[in-house]
Amino acid sequence: MSNRPVDPGRISGARQWQHRFLEAHVDQVRFPDGSEGEQVLIYHPGAAAVVPVLSDPRGPDPQILLLKQYRYAIGGTLWEIPAGRLEPNETPIACAERELLEETGCRCETLTPLTSLWTTPGFTNERIHLFMATGLTQGASAREADEFIEVVPTRLSEVLRMIRDGEITDAKTLVAILYMSGFTGVLEG
């Protein structure tokens, strides 16, 4: 038996399904231990999400814009931040600016990168880049036909309470807000 490291990865596979921006593949893969198996992978172009901050984010209780948005997949509404998928050849920062305008009607003076995350790496390569937008100015929103959104200005203390009490359950929103808030107030009270 060789001690040489095994190079895990795709051996073969084929696209099983495609719709607009998603592709589903069934691949034969080699795992890190050298064994082989089958994996389903949903290819996604990536996305960006943004925490829109109406007031100074370093202030005592900044106000942010939350979205109450209908989501068919869960059969109801979720509290979220503006987000959307990357268009072909679009950078994450350009996507964040576009989604901020489309979903809230706001433009921003500054867009600060927070972090990025893999949404569900067990079956998709979707990665969301998270930003914080400050210096907001109001414009006109341009929502897509399947977007049913209510924009709700909310104090960060209230948003953190909503997270603690399980009212905000959207993963990208949780991570972005906790990240931008520096995790303050979450474990207290």
Q: Which residue has the tokens 């996604």?
A: 44
Banded pLDDT at 178 (limits 50, 70, 90) = very high
A 10 A CB-CB count for 72 gives 8
State how far the alpha carbon of 187 is from the alpha carbons of 59, 129, 162, 184, in Å: 20, 25, 13, 7
CB 103 within 8 A of CB 141: yes
What's the token pair of residue 180?
């931008």
For residue 126, the model assigns a pLDDT of: 92
Is position 147 annotated as part of the catalytic site? Answer: yes
* Residues 29-76 pLDDT 10s: 898 888 999 988 888 899 999 999 999 888 889 999 999 998 888 899
Q: What is the mean pLDDT of the chain?
A: 87
- Whole-structure pTM over 0.75, yes or no? yes
Higher pLDDT, 18 or 54: 54
Active-site residue among 90, 102, 147, 158? Answer: 147
Percentage of residues of the chain with pLDDT beyond 70: 88
Banded pLDDT at 186 (limits 50, 70, 90) = very low
